[in-house]
Amino acid sequence: MQEVLKKKSGENRALAPRESRKTIGNINVQNPRMVCRNVNVFYDEKQAIRNVSIDIGRNEVLAMIGPSGCGKSTFLRCLNRMNDTIDSCHVTGEILFDGKNIYDASVDVVPLRAQIGMVFQKPNPFPKSIYENVAWAPKIHGIVESKSDADEIVESSLQKAGLWEEVKDRLDQPGTGLSGGQQQRLCIARAIAVSPEVILMDEPCSALDPIATAKIEDLIEELRTQYTIAIVTHSMQQASRVSQRTAFFHLGDLIEVGSTETIFTKPSHQLTEDYITGRYG
């Protein structure tokens, strides 16, 4: 791809200059699942995200890329209010989910986080059995009442996560005993067990080997049919493989949004091009 890019950058395309911090590209999508407008995030006095506006469409995978410290993870964690757990963090602007601002005082984060699930960078299964890992969240949300309900959810979630065949004979063994890739798929199964509508993934493959990564990427492709997915990744190859739209962040600004194909072949902003051609990052 980089060969192609180098050739393309040879063409005389007019790129937005490095100094421009305005978002380039169409932030809107038809019939969006989540709508973010003028989102600012502060850690104490320090601003980590500046005026970010973007839509997240239904059944699409939105990849967020950018150099370290650009705020992409911070932004992702705003989408289900995980930043609430950090005392010094506060958020302004609007993030609409089903037409309601999730930062509204009346919103209960408990059901919100069930609807907008999250998968973390490092696989973090609970130190419980595989079965318990998946059944735990449905239980606390009162989704399951009987043992058979739970069995059903565990099986279907593990199947969706492509893990069922590998673990069906040892559901009572601890989830922490699985391999890294299996643990991450277990975490995905755990997230989808509560039937979320959006799944946020924070560099889900950065701790995994290439084979496990490939499996997760295939899984993301399958999950897209049912869920909306926002994924933060450091790997541009991964972004280009799994996503339909890509957002490029730089130092707290959303620099460019567009279809993945456009971003990786015809970026409009100098910074985007520099980043994806590997001049920094």
Partner 1 sequence: MNLGTRKILDRSFTAVGITSILLMAAALLVVVVPIFSGGIGAIFFKGTIEHRKIQYNEFEKGSRKVIDRQIAEVTPYRQEVYRILDAFEADMETMEPAEKRDYLSKYKKVRDIVAHLLGPIPGDPEPILLRYQYGTTRWEKAEESLHDLMFVTKWDYSNPEEMAKQYFVPRADEFAGTALAALFPYMEKNLDKMLLPEQTFYWGFLTERSLDAHIFGGIWAEIQGTFFLAVGAMLFAFPLGVIAAIYFTEYARENFFTSVLRSANSTLAGVPSIVFGLFGLAFFINTIKVSDSKSVLAGSLTLAIMILPTIIRAAEEAILSVPRAYKEASMGLGSTKWRTILTVILPAALPGIITGGIISLGRAAGETAPIIFTAAVSVGATIGVADVFTQPTPALSWNIYNLASEHEAANEIRHVQYGMVLSLISIVLLLNLSAILLRAHVSKKLKG
Among 187, 198, 232, 276, binds partner 1 (CB under 8 A): 187
Q: Which stretch binds partner 1 (CB under 8 A): 43-51, 61-69, 108-116, 255-263?
A: 108-116
The Cβ of residue 224 has, within 10 Å, a number of other Cβ atoms equal to 18
Among 23, 74, 80, 182, binds partner 1 (CB under 8 A): 80
Q: Which stretch binds partner 1 (CB under 8 A): 19-27, 77-85, 91-99, 230-238?
A: 77-85
Q: Which is nearer to partner 1, 41 or 79 (CB)?
A: 79
Binding of residue 140 to partner 1 (CB under 8 A): yes
Using CB under 8 A as the criterion, what x/- string covers residues 217-256 for binding partner 1?
Answer: ----------------------------------------
Binding of residue 85 to partner 1 (CB under 8 A): yes
Binding of residue 8 to partner 1 (CB under 8 A): no
Binding of residue 125 to partner 1 (CB under 8 A): yes
Q: Which is nearer to partner 1, 80 or 240 (CB)?
A: 80
Q: Which stretch binds partner 1 (CB under 8 A): 23-31, 39-47, 81-89, 220-228?
A: 81-89
Binding of residue 39 to partner 1 (CB under 8 A): no
Among 58, 141, 234, 266, binds partner 1 (CB under 8 A): 141
- Tokens for 181? 């890739």
**Residues numbered 200-219 forming contacts with partner 1, rule: CB under 8 A:** none
Contact 48, 74 (CB under 8 A): yes
Binding of residue 164 to partner 1 (CB under 8 A): no
Pairwise CA distance, residues 189 & 136, whole Å: 11
Q: Which residues bind partner 1 (CB under 8 A)?
A: 80, 82, 85, 87, 109-115, 117-118, 120, 122, 124-127, 136-137, 140-141, 173-177, 187, 190-191, 194
